[in-house]
Structure formats: C-alpha cells, structure tokens
Amino acid sequence: MSDSIQRSAAVLYQMEEETPGLKESAQALVSDTMLWPALNGTGATREEKEELIRTAPMLAGKEQLTAFVLLLLEQGTLDSLPAILRELRQLELAAQGGAVCVVTCARQPDEATLEDLRRAVCRLRGLERVVLQIKIDPAILGGFRLEVQGVVYDRSVRGRLERLAQGLKGDFDADSEELEGLVEGLKSKIQGFEVEDGSDMGSLVQNLKTRIQDFQSVGEVQEIGRILSVGDGIAQIQGLDRAVYGELVEFETGVQGMVMDLSRNSVGCVLLGQEAGLREGSIVTRTGRPADVPVGEAMLGRVVDALGQPLDGMGPIRTTETRPIEHEASGVISREPVNAPLQTGILAIDAMIPIGRGQRELLIGDRQTGKTAIAVDTILNQKGEDVICIYVAIGQKASSVARVRDTLQKHGAMDYSIIVSATASDPAPLQYIAPYAGAAMGEYFMSQGKDVLIVYDDLSKHAVAYRALSLLLERSPGREAYPGDVFYLHSRLLERSSRLSDELGGGSITALPIIETQAGDVSAYIPTNVISITDGQIYLQSELFFQGQRPAVDVGISVSRVGGDAQTKAMKQVAGNLRLDLASYQELAGFTQFGSDLDEATQKQLTHGARMTELLKQPRYKPFEVGEQIAVLFAGNEGFLDDLEIADVLPFRAELIEYLDNGFGSLLDKVRAKKIDDDTKAELLRVIGDFKQQFMAKHHADTTGSEEN
C-alpha cells in the first residue's frame, strides 16, 4: 500500500472523528452503481465529473468530504478511494491497541519460532500484544524480515549480504515514499467554487492539503487472519487466535461475520452478508466487540434487517446507541410476577387464554391457520396503550413481510412498531441472529421502563436456519438432524422476556413465539422444545379454521399458565365459566348430533353453547377493547343471545358495541376499572335489554318489509 493512501486514510480518519458520518457517505459514493463508474470512466470530461461530485446526494452538506473527493479527482487518484476506505477501517480497528507485524520468511516457521518472535517484538516496541502476518518469500534465502509500526528490522540472509556489500551495519528504517501528487492544489476553477452556505471550497481544499502533508503516521493496531476456505455462508479462518465466540470480524470486502466455532487451528465464522469477492487468503480483521445492533427511539416505524440496517428506503436511521444481540437474561431477583394484562383485542384469547405483560405465550398450529393474524391483531390493539411492538420475520416471503407492514401502516400501528426482517432469500446467518436482534431492540425499551411486545414469526424456520449453520460447521447432528444445543437456542432467547421489578423501572418484554406444525404434530422435536419453555400455548386447529371458526383457537387444549392473574376483575368475573360452558357444549354436541329427542335442559345448553361459540368469531384487524369484550360476554352469559338466530349473533354484537360506545361510555369505564357490582350489573341488564328491544324491532321490521315486498 502506498504512503499516499495511508496518509489520506489517516486524514479522513481525523475528519470522521470531527464530523461523524463522512465514512458512510464516502462508502455510499463508492457503492453507487451508476455514479461511481461514471466518475472513473472515460465517457465524461473532467468538468462533468466535478459537477457530478458537487451535486452527488450522498455528499450534500459535507464540504470537507466533497473537497477531499475533488482533490483525488484532480490528481487522477480517485480510483484509490476504495483502498483509502479499507485503510480507514484498519485505522479504526487499530485504535483498540496492539500492532500488526509482517514477518517475511523463506519458509513457514513453526509455532515455537513465531511465539519467540511475538515476545521479541513486544519487548522491542513496548507493545502488549502483537499479531503476526506471515509472508513466504524464498528470495530472502533465510532468516526473517520484520515490518512493524512503519519500521523494518531485516535479519534475513539476503539483507545481511547486501549490507555487507554496501558497508552498512545495523537496522534501517523503511524508506517512506513522498506524497507527491496528492498535496498539489486544485486548479483555479475548484478553488473559486463557492458552496451554498458561503464557505470557500478552495480554503477547505488548501486546509486538507496541509493536513495530509503534515500528517505524522501513527502506529496501527489490528489483529488479522486469513481465510482458509469459504462457501455456503461459512468461512474458516486461520490466525485469529484470540477471537471469542460471538465476536464480530470484518473481511476485506467490508462484509462482517460472526464467530461461531472455535477450534485449535482455525475459527469458524458465519458471514453476515454476501461472500462475493472473498477467497482463500483474503484478510480478516478482529473488531474486538460482540455482534450488536443499533437501538433507540429512531428505530420506531422502520423496517430493518437483522443487522439493524434500513430496508424501507426511508434513509439512514439516526441513532448512536447499540446493544449486543446476545445478552444474559434478567435474574430471578430482578423480576416481578406477571399480573398486568396485555390485551390482544381477540375475545376468545382475552377471555379464556389471557396473556400478561412479561409472559411467553406460544402460538402453534399448522400452516395457514391464522397464527400471524393473531399476532398482527395483537399489535394493532396496542394503539394508545404505550406498548412498543417488534415483529421479527424469520424465513418469510418478502411479500408477506410487506403485507404485514402495509397492514400496520394502514391502521397507524407503525408509529410504535419495528419490523425486523430476515426473509427466506437472506443468508441463514441473518435468519439465525434476527430474533436475538429483535430481543436486543426490545431490551433497550424495557430498560427505559416501557412495555414491549415481540412476535417471533416463526421459530421453526429459525431452528432450520441454525441447523443449516451447524451442519456446515460440521457439528454433530442429533434428533431430526438438529444439533444438541437447539433447545438452548430458544431457551436463552425466550428467557429474555420478563417483567422487571419497580426498582429497575418496571418495564417488560412479552413474547409471542410462533411455531408451525406439520399435520398437527406437536410431538415433533422443535414444538416439544418450545412448549416446555413457554408459559402457555394457543393451539390453532385446521379443522376449526375450515369450519369457519376464526380465530381457530382450540379452547380445550389451549392454556395460559398465568391465567386469571392477567385479567381485569370484571373480565375474570364474566369469563370464569366460559371455558367450561364451551367444553360442555362440544361434548353434548358430539353425543347428540344423531339424536332428535332431547330434554329441555339439554336443548337449552346446546342453544346457549352454539351462540357463545358464534359470539367468539372475530374478523381480522378488528380487535375489541376490553370494556367492549366484557359487555358482550356479559350479554351472552345473561342469556340475551339464546333466543336469537345464529345468523343474528354477530350483527347483535356489532350493533351492541356501537350502541355502548356512542351513548354509554361511562358504563364501559366502570367495567374496565373494577369488578361488576350489583349496581353496575343492574345498569348493564337495563341498557342491554333496551338495546335488544330496539334490535329485535328493527330486525322484525326488516323481515316484515322484505316479506311484503
């Protein structure tokens, strides 16, 4: 690498410290598939290229960077900008301490020799650690040649012979190539250019030239290795002896990777991007930090990938905070019991399978049974409830994720939501880290004392992605070819969901993991694992779905281990016997479906059960507020539905809710706030009775009119 590139990178590094964001803008310029080729091609004149640089959108408002690029253009070295950016990344890594020593040998040295060289260089340069980069050059005949921190120590046979011939003794410093073209000024046209804010571009360029000319090289700090093999999203790396599990590494193409396998002679790394441009021998650099994602309020309303990078075309995300994707779950002492409800807006769930804030409630069922619909409805119902919602799409079609986003946008739910997308077309490593990235984003808000809802859609595909990675890393397969630690995979994820104590802010994370079954087989490996981890399960049956029961919740086997603790007093009061009534109805219906002579009590029970079952049907994207739910369940329990036709139950419910919302808001406030006492019960009976009379009169009038016509 030329000295001019090193000096330019060093100055750009200092500029980045003074004005953050320049590196990203420069990278955006290099990555632009239309602008960058035009600047480096022969189809445009110098003046046209200058105009392209001045008007480039990624350089807008960044006068120093614009001057920097114009300087490179004038000197004919604009094509070196990618190399400057690579050197800049090395400088950023070097800021962590240590140094790289390039060792040139005639043949590959053994480990003992390398260790001796490390200790010697540390003593010689006063370093705490040294990373050796080995180069084999038979032309040096023997011995070795060291290059560290810009200084060369030549102990090769060839070097000694040359010094003997020239009468030289001792070590010599490597000659530094003078920075010739880069320190020349821009021509009068560029120097006279005035930017919109009135600053003189010429002065900026002159200042930049001075900084480059006067810059003094500093020692570099980096620990590097080289790729042994790469393919299928996996890279085996040699030389990163101090790498730790879960650490981020950076490849020379700018792609990042995460360490997932540690062995004696190599490090297994999964690529968090495309492997194009990577080959055997490519350089890999340690970052010294665990894999992390950006977090903060700026993430709300955005669609991001598993690395937190925007996918929605709405520009960069302005946030400065990050959190590691892997984080230890809160301990027992720091947790509070789950006793605050998180309303889904779905009548069947809130009444019989309540979900509390901090709970882990599994949604399980076959494909196309409404699992995602329940999750989306739950997100929609959090509007105005001060709950942050995170939807993590794992292995879904991109069109499905877009449909969820459009639904949330249409109903105003994106204002408090984040979508983390790792679609089926994304590499398996991104699908693997996606739920952990979502959990990290949620933990940020939980630490601020806020309530968070996370939907993992779905963990079946997450397990498949992990299985693919594990097999490529040559880990031993077990049941269904999954590695033995797949249980730990999901347990450490879901255990991060909790409700914190008041001393820690009282925030919570509620998890709704989704598992897809095959032909209703809940005894498969992944379903049984996740069932044992969660605090309850909502089973969705294909048969109920095809029968028109939406949501297709099997209330007989669905369960919430939190139970009534996650319900308001009034909801617990009206829903207490609902599950038993429905179970009795289903049993009676099975015994009497072929009978015709039924006693009055049995017929009454069947009539009541059929209408309560119909009452629980609910369309998509129509969540009910808790007061509305209590009112309609109260009406059902008190027998207001028993003399209605089945077809009239849902219209009765819809019109009753509208009737109460428009004229009896205070009554709904009462049932939301406290238990239904005798006075409130009497008022409910009176109001619902009056409404039923109106409903029946309207219904009878409509029927009579249609018959007369």
Whether the CB-CB separation of 399 and 421 falls below 8 Å is answered with no
| C-alpha torsion sign, points 474, 475, 478, 482 | negative
User: Residue 351: enclosing H or E segment and its boundaries?
Assistant: helix 347-352
Residues 6+ apart with CB under 8 A from 94: 219, 220, 221, 222
Token duo for residue 193: 């250019």
529: helix, strand or coil: helix
Token duo for residue 363: 């949604």
Angle CA(629)–CA(631)–CA(632) in degrees, nearest 5? Answer: 70
Helices (H), 75-152: 81-94, 111-125
**403 is known as an active-site residue:** no
Helices (H), 593-677: 600-615, 626-637, 646-663, 665-673
Buried-exposed string 134-145: b where 16+ CB fall within 10 A, e elsewhere: beeeeebeeebb
Whether the CB-CB separation of 186 and 50 falls below 8 Å is answered with no
Q: Tell me how far CA of residue 534 lies from CA of 437, 497, 673, in angstroms.
A: 20, 10, 29
**Terminal CA-CA length for the chain:** 93
Q: Which amino acid, one-letter code, is at 342?
A: L
> Count of CB atoms within 10 A of residue 498's CB?
25
Tallying the residues shown for the chain, one arrives at 709
Give the separation between CA 112 and CA 530, rounded to whole angstroms: 49
In Å, the largest CA–CA distance within the chain is: 124
> Count of CB atoms within 10 A of residue 516's CB?
20
Q: Which of 86, 160, 335, 561 is catalytic?
A: 561
When computed from its CA atoms, the radius of gyration of the chain, rounded to whole angstroms, is 34
Give the separation between CA 413 and CA 400, rounded to whole angstroms: 17
> Across the strands, what pairs with 341?
356
> Count of CB atoms within 10 A of residue 565's CB?
16
Please provide the DSSP assignment of 408-463 as one string. Answer: HHHTT-GGGEEEEEE-TTS-HHHHHHHHHHHHHHHHHHHHTT-EEEEEEETHHHHH
Give the separation between CA 184 and CA 475, rounded to whole angstroms: 57
Q: Which amino acid, one-letter code, is at 551?
A: P
Token duo for residue 117: 């060289």
Whether the CB-CB separation of 221 and 97 falls below 8 Å is answered with yes
User: Residue 295: enclosing H or E segment and its boundaries?
Assistant: strand 292-295
Give the separation between CA 41 and CA 48, rounded to whole angstroms: 12
Q: Tell me how far CA of residue 381 lies from CA of 41, 364, 618, in angstroms.
A: 55, 21, 14
Going through 355-401 in order, the beta strands assigned E by DSSP cover 362-365, 387-394
Residues 6+ apart with CB under 8 A from 357: 338, 340, 341, 342, 451, 499, 508, 510, 566
Give the separation between CA 126 and CA 639, rounded to whole angstroms: 87
Residue with tokens 């810009």: 150
Tell me if the bond preceding 377 is cis, omega within 30° of 0. Answer: no
Active site residues: 561
